[in-house]
Amino acid sequence: MNLDHGNLRALAAVVREGSFERAAAVLNVTPSAVSQRIKLLEGRMGRLLVQRTVPTAATPDGQILVHLAEQAALLEHDALSRLGFDEDIPQASIAIAVNHDSLETWFMQAAALFSARTNATLDLQSEDQDHTAALLRNGTVLGAVTTLGEPVQGCHVHRLGSMRYVATCSPAFHERYFAKGVSARTLAEAPVLVFNRKDAMQARFALKVMGDQPWRPPVWWIPSSRAFVRATLDGMGWTMNPLPMVEQELNDGLLVPLRARAWEDVPLYWQHWRINSQAMNVLNQSVLEASKSLIHKR
């Protein structure tokens, strides 16, 4: 079975942009032309490939073809670049998933290195580090920073190091809630900051103290790494902050650990699909170089 490259590109654009109209603008065609290409591809495959929702999304079958289209576009970009057709090279953008805290700390150094070494761009998708691997499996992204050390089928995996998270709060908050120590009772009463419903970091720390007792503290839901730090400094609650974002505040005494050794080291891995692409090789090198700022244990 032969698949039309233009139809595949239209499918990838519709899924990436979230609508037929935005995909048409990217491809410089009319929305009806995009719709026709998707219908032709679905007719060819004999199955639904795009969910006509807002935003649009690929079906499981569609995700397989989106992954194929993204790989093909990257290889096309590399081939034309090597042949010297610099002015005619289509825009290449590598979709990758990065956890929120890496994006706010070390990963933008990797992006800067990549930018200096290639004319391709990155389509960064922010997701919890325990869930980025799912985007690799379904073909949404070609690479991911993840806590999963076991390779996703079809992927290479590299150990990057560990992100250290420290249970912190303001001195005034500590005096108010933990003056007599961190216990099951004080943890149950103290407000906690949580990024979103996928964020289990604070619960893991509390479990070490609570044991089998239920933990239902007052919760602030704050989906921003930097707002997390601001809220901690303002005494709104305690939380697990990434050390690179609060190290200066800890040194200055603006934040304090909840107790001695109140940290957790979370191993991070870089996983990417096996693609013989120069742009992907440059990205891999850039990520590995930038990750040297993470904690490395022998």
What is the CATH classification number for the domain harbouring 290?
3.40.190.290
Residue 124 resides in a domain: yes
pLDDT of residue 134: 84
Residue 290 resides in a domain: yes
Kindly report, residue by residue over 148-199, the tens digit of the pLDDT. 999 998 899 999 999 999 999 999 999 999 999 999 999 999 999 999 988 8
pLDDT of residue 63: 84
Residue 232 resides in a domain: yes
pTM: 0.81
Residue 16 resides in a domain: no
Residue 62 resides in a domain: no
Domain count, the chain: 1
Question: Cis (ω within 30 of 0) for the bond into 55?
Answer: yes
91/213: higher pLDDT: 213
Residue 18 resides in a domain: no
Residue 286 resides in a domain: yes
Kindly report, residue by residue over 250-261, the tens digit of the pLDDT. 999 999 999 998
Q: Which domain holds residue 142?
A: 92-298
Kindly report, residue by residue over 202-219, the tens digit of the pLDDT. 999 999 998 888 899 999
| Confidence tier at 89 by pLDDT (50, 70, 90) | low
Which residue bears the tokens 């006509």?
Answer: 52
Task: Give me the sign of the Cα torsion angle 37, 42, 48, 49.
Answer: negative
pLDDT of residue 292: 94
Residue 136 resides in a domain: yes
What is the average per-residue pLDDT within 36-40? 94
CA-to-CA separations, 153 to 33, 158, 208, 270, in angstroms, rounded: 35, 14, 34, 14
**Rounded distance between C-alpha atoms, residue 181 and residue 177, angstroms:** 8
